[in-house]
Amino acid sequence: MALDLIFIVRTLVFPGFLFLLVLVLFFDWLERKIAARFQNRMGPSYTGPFGILQPIADYIKLFSKEDITPKQTNKLLFVAAPILAFSLFVFALFFIPIDGSNVILGSSFEGDLILVLLLVTLANFGIFLSGWASLNPYSGIGATRVLTQFLGYDIPLIILALGPAFLARSLSIVDITASQTLPFALVMPWCCVLFFLVLQAELEKTPFDIPHAETEIVGGYETEYSGRKLAFIKLSEDFQFLIGASLVTVLFLGGAHGPVLFGMPELWHVFWFMVKTIGVVFLLEYIGNVAARLRIDQVVNGNWELLIPLSVLSLALTVIVEPLLRLVIG
Amino acid sequence: MEMFETAVKVLRNNLADAILELTVPRPRKAYILLKPERHRDAVSLILKHVEDAELSTISGVDLGNEIELNYHMACGGTVTLKNRVSREKPVTRTITDILPGANLYEREVFDLLGVTFEGHPNLERLMLPENWPKGDYPLRRDWEPPTNPENESYSEETLQTESAVEQDDADSIVNIVMGPQHPVLHEPERFTFKVDGETVVDAEMRLGYVHRGIEKAAERMMYFQDVFLVERICGICNAAHTTVFCQAVEDIGNIETPSRALYLRTIIHELNRVHSHLLLLGVAGHLLGFEALFQHVWRDREPIMDMVEQITGNRLMSGFNTIGGVRRDITPSSIEKTLKTVKAVRKRAAFYKNVFEEDATLRLRTEGVGVLSKDDALKFCVVGPVLRGSGVASDVRKDDPYAAYGEIPFNVICYKECDTWARLMVRVEEVLESLDIIEYALGHLPSGRLRVRVQRKIPEGEAVNRVEAPRGELIHYVKSDGTAYPYRVKVRSPTLANLVSFPEIIRGSYIADIPSVIGSFDPCFSCTDRMVFLDAQNGKKWRWSLDEVNDQKP
């Protein structure tokens, strides 16, 4: 019984659904604030202290808006796709050890890194389907762009994620974080830098925000969406952003591990995880704000001609210098 | 300037049999009345003998029993070739085969004055809505706007609206409609792109969504009132419109404008150019997905707006120029503040020049995109930064100096790359150049009167005048019949001149290039659509109930 209570609390409240939701909204705010400061603007500043409640206000507004399903769409797909994408992203986050262990205790297993990456890929299919089901030329182009871009960049992302796994001799995220006595970002910076770049493309941030380039294709895949369904799509995007940032944290920055000074180690874990992820978010936003949007052909060529060979090379380098690296991390 | 003399000499020598009357009332302005149907020979002669000659526009004037077509050829000055056609049977030969750039101008005359051009490739409506009654030509003198539009029997045909998706013969080709409402456009206009995957196969455009009938309205107002009317053609380049209109009227009335007024006009004109170019550079950043650039440029544009307000009293619509001079003097403290601002903005503009030159992603997106070769640019008669980005150093301020430009040293910026990047760079450097002009003009401001008193009645005559608006050559043609009301005012804004080439450029590019190419043209559609009287009351076809909208099949 007691065990069940822990299970329910961990899944629904902390560090499960509710906590993740708050975290996602916080990062949404942070992202907007950072972008605004880069652009010489204020950013959200009216709702709550420093406008921190703005994302909540936005989602409440979206949820209360009229929800239109255009006549010509495939209704089932149109409704199901955003929910599917959202659920898959949330599920994927359950395997990220935010307070040192997975959301569902003991669910960590050898290979959950692969599972997380798979879930993210599947969720992106959901996003693709949402655009495809809209039967709108803007959505259609946006959806095909998601597929072209995402599927291309998934390959180098997975190859690069194998670097830390190789060094930790494990495919379990918890083991990878635990084995980082020295953050892998310092041990193999080449891998980390490439991972950052590829992640930027995976998260569809500038200069890779092609699938929803508003001056070209209005809203991209989400053009026909409104109200609750749009809220789910937006939430999925926010969750994907959090997954991306936390993947860097767990794979390269030692995850939730850090000095525990006093009190409950779980809280310190959460603290270190947050600090590291905020740093990652800052860097991602930085890249996003100093570049213009690339074109789909440039992005696709850049992937196949540059990033895939480079990621293979970086993995090869990791394998070759592994004995040396092992001396460093001890 | 020599170009102009060559043009007149060539016409005089080779076409003596066709010239009925040739006058050069003012320097670099010639008016040549030709025998009917000889305009084609004259246009080809000028194109053959004068380098970089272009057609500025065609202005049609209803003379009562004849319709006069004025072909304004830009060649150093302006040579106006007059071809008269009868009003009963208004038919003439097209010149689009000689000069494709005449396409839209002929359509405009066809639309508004009912002159048919034989041999024109697609002589269709340009400005008026599709359900405008046939045989109703608003720019003819006897046309009256319907007093009670509700009772008029306007045709009930609904406008053919294309749905967003339209399958073509080939399965993979999809029509993408951008506009009248689309994030890339800041004003309503419709572009239909046929795309195959990510490649644009063809493009069509439909103008005329923001008609206000300004040309017709100008005939019903007195000259001094018209100054404020033409100012409202375009907010961004309002100083250009008032300057050119005042100059045209001053030309007809032989009015000497005091030199202090000329300098002040120049200063406002250049401040206009600076903030217009900065606006466009910001928009270009936005269109290319570079939001940070967009926000920064627009913030740096603000001090310029403040200076315009300081000098003219208004932030945007300056209301500064008037016939015979300017309406407000500049104070010594404003001069000081303006000089300070100029210095600060120059620093920022130099920084942006560096950004546009160095930033890798910007160059990736703009270099080699939307190429308009020099020959094509001249063929399609494009103007302004678009022309200068294609390697033609043509600038009205240099070629046909007006206001104080004859006395101010400055460079004409010209890039030979012919692409979007070149068109943007021309604007960046012109900002720097304009700031220098402002500084020079403020330093050499002559003392004296601000304006001369002008009679309300302007003597009979006609004048064509050009200025270099921020977007390119802006031309006004004014005809006076000796009353206080103009007989005809014709406006050709730079965007109309540039739009002809757009479908040609965009063919074969990527969808992602559409915004950047549109942006590099700096289109201003409210300038372009201004000629027609269109009462919102009889715009019946727009009023669909929500159900009707929903019933539009995909």
What is the per-residue pLDDT across B16-35, written as a single tens digit (0 to 9) for each? 888 888 888 888 888 988 88
Give me the CATH code for the B214-525 domain, please.
1.10.645.10
pLDDT tens for each residue of B94-121: 888 888 888 888 888 888 888 888 888 8
Tell me: pLDDT of B545 over 70.
Answer: no
Tell me: pLDDT of B320 over 50.
Answer: yes
Fill in the DSSP letter of residue B17. T
Strand partners, B67: B62, B85
Cβ of B183 within 8 Å of Cβ of A38? The answer is no
Confirm if A127 and A146 have CB atoms less than 8 A apart: yes
Identify the helix (H) or strand (E) that includes residue A92: helix A75-93
Q: Look at residues B212, B239, B252, B214 and name the one whose alpha carbon lies nearest to residue B484.
A: B252
Alpha-carbon distance of B427 to B437, in angstroms, equals 15
Is residue B525 very low, low, confident or very high in pLDDT (cuts 50, 70, 90)? low
What's the sign of the alpha-carbon dihedral A264, A270, A276, A278? Answer: negative
Q: What is the pLDDT of residue B546?
A: 37
Q: What is the pLDDT of residue B13?
A: 87
Q: Look at residues B540, B462, B528, B519 and name the one whose alpha carbon lies nearest to residue B494.
A: B528
Fill in the DSSP letter of residue A208. S
User: CB B553: neighbour CB atoms within 10 A?
Assistant: 7
Alpha-carbon distance of B244 to B57, in angstroms, equals 15
Q: What is the pLDDT of residue B266?
A: 92
Q: What is the ipTM of this complex?
A: 0.81
The average pLDDT across B486-493 equals 88
Alpha-carbon distance of B230 to B227, in angstroms, equals 5
- Listed in sequence order, the residues at least 6 apart from B543 whose beta carbon sits closer than 8 Å to its beta carbon are none
Confirm if B528 and B127 have CB atoms less than 8 A apart: no
Shortest Cα–Cα distance, B317 to chain A (Å): 27
Amino acid present at A231: A
Q: Which of B172, B193, B195, B198 to mutate to test the interface with A (most CBs of A within 10 A)?
A: B198
pLDDT tens for each residue of A139-167: 888 888 888 887 788 889 888 888 888 88
Cβ of A71 within 8 Å of Cβ of B511? The answer is no
User: CB B483: neighbour CB atoms within 10 A?
Assistant: 13
- Listed in sequence order, the residues at least 6 apart from B548 whose beta carbon sits closer than 8 Å to its beta carbon are none
Amino acid present at B410: F
Query: Which backbone phi and psi does B58 adopt, to 5 degrees?
Result: -120, 120
Cβ of B361 within 8 Å of Cβ of A41? The answer is no
Tell me: pLDDT of B476 over 70.
Answer: yes
Q: Look at residues A205, A204, A212, A215 and name the one whose alpha carbon lies nearest to residue A288.
A: A205
Fill in the DSSP letter of residue A15. S
Confirm if A107 and A95 have CB atoms less than 8 A apart: yes
Tell me: pLDDT of B318 over 50.
Answer: yes
Domain ranges across chain B: 2-138, 214-525
Mean pLDDT of chain A: 84
Q: Look at residues B236, B326, B304 and name the one whose alpha carbon lies nearest to residue B276.
A: B236
Confirm if B499 and B521 have CB atoms less than 8 A apart: yes
Domain B2-138: give its CATH architecture. 2-Layer Sandwich (3.30)
Q: Look at residues A146, A144, A247, A143 and name the one whose alpha carbon lies nearest to residue A199.
A: A247
Please tell me which residue of chain A has the smallest CA distance to B299: A40
Query: Which of A161-175, B169-183, B365-379 shows the lowest per-residue confidence on average (mean pLDDT)?
Result: B169-183
Closest in B292, B514, B550 to A39, CB measured: B292
pTM, to two decimals? 0.83
Q: Which of A135, A145, A210, A293 to mutate to test the interface with B (most CBs of B within 10 A)?
A: A293
Does A210 contact chain B (CB < 8 Å)? yes
At CA A289, angle to CA A288 and CA A292, rounded to 5? 80
Mean pLDDT of chain B: 82
In order, the DSSP letters of A61-85 are: HHHHS-----TTS-HHHHHHHHHHH
Q: Which of A216, A289, A290 to mutate to test the interface with B (most CBs of B within 10 A)?
A: A216
Q: Look at residues A320, A299, A297, A296 and name the one whose alpha carbon lies nearest to residue A308.
A: A299
User: CB B161: neighbour CB atoms within 10 A?
Assistant: 12
pLDDT tens for each residue of B447-471: 888 888 888 888 888 899 999 988 8
Alpha-carbon distance of B251 to B454, in angstroms, equals 12
Q: What is the pLDDT of residue B102?
A: 87
